[in-house]
A and B are shown apart, each in its own frame.
Chain A
Amino acid sequence: MERECTAAVELRGIDFAYEQEQAVLREINLHVDRGEWVAIVGESGCGKSTLVRLLNALLTPQAGQVLLFGEELTVHNAPLLRSRIGMVFQNPDNQFIGESVEEDIAFGLEGLCLERGEMERRIASYAQLLDITSLLHKHPGELSGGQKQRCAVAACLAMEPEIVVFDESTSMQDERSRRELLDMMDHMRRQGKYTIFSVTHDADEMLAADRILALKDGRVRGDRSPAAFFADEALLRDCGITLPFRLKLEQELNLLGIATEDVAGGAARKRKHPSNHATAERGQRT
């Protein structure tokens, strides 16, 4: 039954408010296909993090429905559906539960009631994927922020979720770790088995996504491709985003009558997957 339905996530008329406070989200409708990567952007306090917390019933909306894989999320099926959604948060320190990397990855697997052999297999394979095999026996205190965040991603992926939510996961990372994480997200998208949501302020992350969902004061302000998003100055302003240097330069050059596609978007730096509109810009990261 689920197979027939391509929607990984569907939101219908969602309203949400924290107790006795002003509404945080209003009339949110959203349809996300399996395998899509949606970046959620907007100024701080616009409801981005709240939105993704509705997806795995960490929060419950006052009105509207959340459908995961075509099934409505309720109190009863939340624990089961939740195991199909993984989350990676901003501060890796506050999601590290175990005393060592190995135990932290195991923590989620214990909850899935896996056999010890299967846990070992998954820990080994996801540690290899995230390149943290040598860190497995380390205490979180011995790790850098980037290493901790990679462990958090490993712990999340080891549970083999179908939807992965990155809630500002790159914002506290230094450049190297930020790029590693972005590459990982890109790798995940290319595998095609994950539906990705990423709440972000990072232009590279937005450009790498398939879609950008812009929120303003709890409402959907725009839902575009990255190319269309970065071309809309009013929308950018409403989301607290400045045009990245490269795009700004191209814009200025165009104003001066110089075309840039041959130079700035050299063929060597282009991505393999042509599904994306922002190909030229996404090449920056390689």
Chain B
Amino acid sequence: MNGMSLTDGQHEKGRAAGHERETIIELRNVDYTYQAGSPFAAAALHDVNLKIQRGTLIGIAGGTGCGKSTLLQLLNGLLLPTGGSVRVLDHTLLPGMKKLRLNALRRRVGLSFQFPEQHLFEDTVEKDLMFGPLNFGFTREEARTKAAEALRSMGLGDELLNRHPLSLSGGQMRKVAIATVLAAGPEVLMLDEPTATLDSAARRELIALLARLCREEGRTILMVTHRIEELLEAADEWVVMNEGRIVFQGDADELVDRTNELREWGLAVPEQLRCWEEWTARLPQLAALPLPRTPEAMARVIAEAVRGSAGAPDAVRVSAPESIHRSAPAPGSESPSEAVNEARSGEWEHDLCATN
């Protein structure tokens, strides 16, 4: 309970007082072995130490079989550690303990699984949304309200409430699946690869929704992904796992220095880092700056650096024809960016000739 009151206090302080945030998740020397003691025993986590602060958006990255999903299941007591201790909010989970009445924890720590179908088993969306709240002891009326709220906070309209869950489109199904978890009002929301199988526009939209849940509603979000790129803009912090161990914890700026290791850990270097690396090689003064997260911000920073070092290296030149394009878009429907695009396709042709 005191955990709850603390939350409210923390909220008002906002993101500025980042370092004073309350640690709500703490793992100490956690091991987990599947089917321990049987001939099929398989270790999934080794000596994991981790601290997570309230109200942050954490990206958890790693290749297949690195232990990401196991980690999430330890945080709401679906699995108990086989070694070490897991503290989440005011619950402590230890090896071999009796797992009774974990609902108090699970209401506050929601987990959305990888495939949306795994959350959808009732015959209407509303019933699926009410399933959690009802189990956690809310009345039918409360559950109904919470269901509608959760749907709205995932950007979906009430008209879906009476639909059959399996009649929804892929993107809607994914959002409804997250809403079924959100309906119970968790303080921590964990998502296992929620963007897999979505197209890029839908992925962006989903991540924007999650970022809003974190920034505006103060929820702690843990999102597992194998594409760092998609979440780099939104995440406060990254946890990278490899072969059951945490090999990195820190923010995007610290990640910049570990580009080479990312490959070894079975991850793609996100394009943001790749582009930044290439530009830093040409404009060394960029290295001192924090990594700009959006293409707009990165372009601005690079432009400033270029202008600052005008007349210097031949690598970068201000190109006159394009400036003309930009300042004088064709009248009518064409937007400036489209004009630039045309210029760009021309550039590709140019590139082609330059190949050697």
Name B270's closest neighbour in chain A (CB-CB).
A245
- Bound CA–CA A279/B343 (angstroms): 16
- Bound CA–CA A101/B245 (angstroms): 29
Inter-chain contact A280/B348, CB cutoff 8 Å:
yes
Besides A240-B200, A258-B306, A267-B355, 14 other CB < 8 A contacts? Answer: A176-B266, A228-B345, A233-B338, A233-B341, A246-B271, A254-B343, A257-B322, A259-B316, A262-B316, A262-B317, A263-B279, A264-B275, A267-B354, A267-B356
Q: Which residues in A have their C-beta under 8 angstroms from that of B345?
A: 227-228, 231
Expressed in whole angstroms, the minimum distance between the Cβ of A50 and any Cβ of chain B is: 15
Inter-chain contact B300/A256, CB cutoff 8 Å:
yes
Tell me if A184 counts as interface (CB < 8 A to partner B). no
Write out, one digit per residue, whether chain B residues 251-267 have a CB within 8 A of any chain A CB (1) or not (0): 00000000000000011
Write out, one digit per residue, whether chain A residues 27-44 have a CB within 8 A of any chain B CB (1) or not (0): 000000000000000011
Expressed in whole angstroms, the minimum distance between the Cβ of A179 and any Cβ of chain B is: 7
Q: Which of A43, A144, A259, A265 has the most CB of B within 10 A?
A: A259
- Bound CA–CA A261/B343 (angstroms): 12
Cβ < 8 Å to A, chain B residues 201-235 = 201-202, 204, 226-227, 229
- Bound CA–CA A45/B345 (angstroms): 30
- Bound CA–CA A223/B356 (angstroms): 29
- Bound CA–CA A184/B335 (angstroms): 39
Which residue numbers of B lie inside 8 Å of A, CB to CB?
A: 63-65, 169-171, 196-202, 204, 226-227, 229, 266-268, 270-272, 274-275, 278-279, 282, 295-296, 298-300, 302-303, 306, 315-319, 322-323, 326, 335-338, 340-345, 347-352, 354-356
Q: Which of A171, A254, A263 contacts B316 (CB 8 A)?
A: A263
Inter-chain contact B303/A240, CB cutoff 8 Å:
no
- Bound CA–CA A144/B67 (angstroms): 13
16 residue pairs of the A-B complex, CB under 8 angstroms, read: A43-B199, A174-B267, A176-B63, A176-B268, A233-B335, A245-B270, A245-B275, A249-B295, A261-B351, A262-B315, A263-B279, A264-B275, A267-B355, A270-B355, A277-B349, A284-B274
Inter-chain contact B63/A175, CB cutoff 8 Å:
yes
- Bound CA–CA A178/B196 (angstroms): 12
Q: Which residues in B have their C-beta under 8 angstroms from that of A274?
A: 352, 355
Tell me if A177 counts as interface (CB < 8 A to partner B). yes
Name B344's closest neighbour in chain A (CB-CB).
A231
Inter-chain contact A255/B326, CB cutoff 8 Å:
yes
Write out, one digit per residue, whether chain A residues 196-240 have a CB within 8 A of any chain B CB (1) or not (0): 000001010000000000000000000000011001110001011
Q: Which residues in A have their C-beta under 8 angstroms from that of B341?
A: 231-233, 251
Inter-chain contact A252/B201, CB cutoff 8 Å:
no
Contacts A44-B171, A44-B199 hold; do A251 and B319 have CB atoms under 8 A apart? no
Q: Which residues in B have their C-beta under 8 angstroms from that of A265?
A: 351
Name B341's closest neighbour in chain A (CB-CB).
A231
> How many A-B contacts at CB < 8 Å in the complex?
160
Expressed in whole angstroms, the minimum distance between the Cβ of A42 and any Cβ of chain B is: 9
Q: Which of A176, A201, A232, A256 contacts B299 (CB 8 A)?
A: A256
**CB-CB nearest 9 A-B residue pairs:** A252-B299, A259-B319, A175-B268, A245-B271, A231-B341, A248-B295, A240-B199, A256-B303, A174-B226
Q: Which of B197, B229, B299 contacts A249 (CB 8 A)?
A: B299
Inter-chain contact B352/A279, CB cutoff 8 Å:
yes
- Bound CA–CA A172/B338 (angstroms): 33
Expressed in whole angstroms, the minimum distance between the Cβ of A28 and any Cβ of chain B is: 21
- Bound CA–CA A277/B274 (angstroms): 21
Name A172's closest neighbour in chain B (CB-CB).
B196
Contacts A254-B326, A257-B319, A257-B322 hold; do A175 and B267 have CB atoms under 8 A apart? yes
Tell me if A86 counts as interface (CB < 8 A to partner B). no
Inter-chain contact B271/A254, CB cutoff 8 Å:
no
Tell me if A250 counts as interface (CB < 8 A to partner B). yes
Q: Which residues in B have their C-beta under 8 angstroms from that of A278?
A: 348
Q: Which of A174, A240, A251 has the most CB of B within 10 A?
A: A174
Q: Which residues in A have their C-beta under 8 angstroms from that of B227?
A: 175
Inter-chain contact B226/A175, CB cutoff 8 Å:
yes
Tell me if A79 counts as interface (CB < 8 A to partner B). no
Contacts A227-B345, A261-B351 hold; do A241 and B338 have CB atoms under 8 A apart? no
Expressed in whole angstroms, the minimum distance between the Cβ of A275 and any Cβ of chain B is: 9
Inter-chain contact B295/A259, CB cutoff 8 Å:
no
Inter-chain contact A171/B196, CB cutoff 8 Å:
yes
Inter-chain contact A277/B266, CB cutoff 8 Å:
no
Q: Which of A175, A232, A277 contacts B352 (CB 8 A)?
A: A277
Contacts A176-B267, A177-B64, A244-B271 hold; do A261 and B199 have CB atoms under 8 A apart? no
Expressed in whole angstroms, the minimum distance between the Cβ of B17 and any Cβ of chain A is: 31
Q: Which residues in B have their C-beta under 8 angstroms from that of A242?
A: 200-201, 204
Q: Which residues in A have their C-beta under 8 angstroms from that of B336?
A: 255
Q: Which of B204, B229, B303 contacts A253 (CB 8 A)?
A: B303
Name A234's closest neighbour in chain B (CB-CB).
B338
- Bound CA–CA A179/B227 (angstroms): 12
Expressed in whole angstroms, the minimum distance between the Cβ of B256 and any Cβ of chain A is: 15
Q: Which of A231, A246, A280 contacts B342 (CB 8 A)?
A: A231
Inter-chain contact B315/A249, CB cutoff 8 Å:
no
Q: Which residues in B have their C-beta under 8 angstroms from that of A228?
A: 345
Inter-chain contact B326/A252, CB cutoff 8 Å:
no
Tell me if A192 counts as interface (CB < 8 A to partner B). no
